[in-house]
Amino acid sequence: MTSRVLMVLVTLVGCIQAADKYWDYIVVGAGPGGLQMGHFLQKAGRNYVLLERNSVVASFFQKYPRHDKLISINKRHTGKKNTEFNLRHDWNSLLSDDKSLLFRHYSKLFFPQRVQLLDYMADYQKKLGINVQFHTEVSNIRKETNATTNKTVFLMDDQNGNTLKCKVLIVASGLSKPVKPTFEGREFTENYSNVSINPDDYEGKTVVILGRGNSAFELAESIYGSTNFIHMIGRSRVRLSWATHYVGDLR
């Protein structure tokens, strides 16, 4: 009886330790940034994993841009043979040694569809054998120094209470942060993330769009035919990306 209890205990302890997973490198996020890092870690033969909370890579593009059309142009021809030069005109491809993993093979559209970028990113991960653990949401990142070895490790939890450890932690969890307006009446506004993209919902309406960037024009263009008027309000004049050479300005 006692030895049985002991055995169960030993098994339990074993389980708890097995849940403490270790990698030399952990990358949080399997968006374009994480994938690019993943490729170089894979190529260098490192012990690594990408932890991604969603079920696909580059999941941002499952929802955004909301009207399907990318603003990152697909410049398939430049008139030049120089790979470096051509890559500098390519807004969508990640770096690799595999010539088939260039976005130009995934779309002929100048403004491609986001599903084409999703296909490309999925192939990039699979063909290059990048190690991604999906359905893993990282939180509670902390640092611990082992008193005996004096070595520092990063610890973090997933949503199932597992502890994950690594020597080097790379956070590639994305940048976008919504701008919340502060003016009185802001509670009556709708935002880009949740606003309806069905033109029928705008039939005969007068619509005010705050902002004059890509998201603003994306919405305006799609509902234009249904509305009475669209007013667009911005704090500065429209800046066109072909003029400023900044991709974030208006395409």
Ligand X SMILES: *[C@@H]1O[C@H](CO)[C@@H](O)[C@H](O)[C@H]1NC(C)=O
Ligand Y SMILES: Cc1cc2nc3c(=O)[nH]c(=O)nc-3n(C[C@H](O)[C@H](O)[C@H](O)COP(=O)(O)OP(=O)(O)OC[C@H]3O[C@@H](n4cnc5c(N)ncnc54)[C@H](O)[C@@H]3O)c2cc1C
Residues that bind ligand Y (CB under 6 A): 28-34, 51-54, 58-60, 64-65, 70-72, 91, 137-138, 172-174, 176, 215
CB 161 within 8 Å of CB 15: no
Which is it for the CA torsion 59, 61, 64, 68, positive or negative?
A: negative
Please give the DSSP secondary-structure letter assigned to residue 141. E
Tokens 């009886």 map to which residue? 1
CB of 162 to ligand Y, least distance (A): 13
Q: Tell me which residue of 29, 103, 96 sits closest to 59, measured CA to CA.
A: 29
List the x/- string, 44-83, binding to ligand X by CB under 6 A.
Answer: -------------------x--------------------
Nearer to ligand X, 148 or 236 (CB): 148
* Residue 180 contact among ligand X, ligand Y, none, beta carbon within 5 to 8 Å by kind: ligand X
CB of 181 to ligand X, least distance (A): 8
Q: Is the peptide bond before 65 cis (omega within 30 degrees of 0)?
A: yes
Type of residue at 150: N
Nearer to ligand X, 82 or 140 (CB): 140
Query: Which of 47, 62, 193, 244 lies at the binding interface for ligand X (CB under 6 A)?
Result: 193
Query: Which of 17, 140, 194, 236 lies at the binding interface for ligand X (CB under 6 A)?
Result: 194
* Residue 32 contact among ligand Y, ligand X, none, beta carbon within 5 to 8 Å by kind: ligand Y
CB of 175 to ligand Y, least distance (A): 6
Can residue 178 be called a binding residue for ligand X (CB under 6 A)?
A: yes
Nearer to ligand X, 100 or 176 (CB): 176
CA-to-CA separations, 16 to 23, 58, 95, 174, 249, in angstroms, rounded: 17, 32, 39, 31, 51
CB of 137 to ligand Y, least distance (A): 4
Can residue 180 be called a binding residue for ligand X (CB under 6 A)?
A: yes
Can residue 17 be called a binding residue for ligand X (CB under 6 A)?
A: no
* Spatial strand order in the sheet of 48-51: 132-133, 48-51, 21-28, 163-171, 152-157, 139-145
163-171/152-157 β-pairing = antiparallel
As a whole number of Å, the CA-based R_g of the chain is 24
CA-to-CA separations, 23 to 37, 116, 149, in angstroms, rounded: 15, 32, 17
CB of 133 to ligand X, least distance (A): 22
Q: Which residues bind ligand X (CB under 6 A)?
A: 63, 146, 148-150, 178, 180, 191, 193-194
